[in-house]
A and B are shown apart, each in its own frame.
Chain A
Amino acid sequence: AQSVTQPDIHITVSEGASLELRCNYSYGATPYLFWYVQSPGQGLQLLLKYFSGDTLVQGIKGFEAEFKRSQSSFNLRKPSVHWSDAAEYFCAVGSNAGNNRKLIWGLGTSLAVNP
């Protein structure tokens, strides 16, 4: 079955510390992978995406993610967290197979940042 797992429901880090949010997927076809961020009271904003090529992708707001096919993972990282990064983060996976192009969503990781 196709699925996306974000193992950490909630993470708290100190401002300035590094961050890694985990995402594991189960998907039969070649995946397209996405990370979104949702700030309180806001819609979801695309942070970055992986379709093909270099497995380390850079996104907005200083985030990056690495696709590891052997581990079925697409973890999000940031070297130094800012207080404004406190938000909900969602991983999603899709495929270019067929016309549907459905996205499978993780349940999200809530990030709190201590001053």
Chain B
Amino acid sequence: ILNVEQSPQSLHVQEGDSTNFTCSFPSSNFYALHWYRWETAKSPEALFVMTLNGDEKKKGRISATLNTKEGYSYLYIKGSQPEDSATYLCAFNTGGFKTIFGAGTRLFVKA
């Protein structure tokens, strides 16, 4: 059974702190790894799609890295702002039609 684990489950930081969280996935049959941000009362929004080992992607203050050989991806947020408060989901795909999501990391940024 393919499983995607995210840690921590939740995280409380102060405005201005930098933070990071982890997504672990099976290292075999890797095809793509997605990161999404899901704010309360909104729909999940795509952040990154990563396909190559060693990939690094950046979007403003948010960046992500990928290690397909050991089966993990890190998401980093530099200088957290209250508007970064959301659930961050990662999703793994082996190249089939099925995408497997983790349970998410819920980030709370206090002003």
- Bound pair: A and B? no
Query: Footprint of A on B, CB under 8 Å?
Result: none
Query: Footprint of B on A, CB under 8 Å?
Result: none
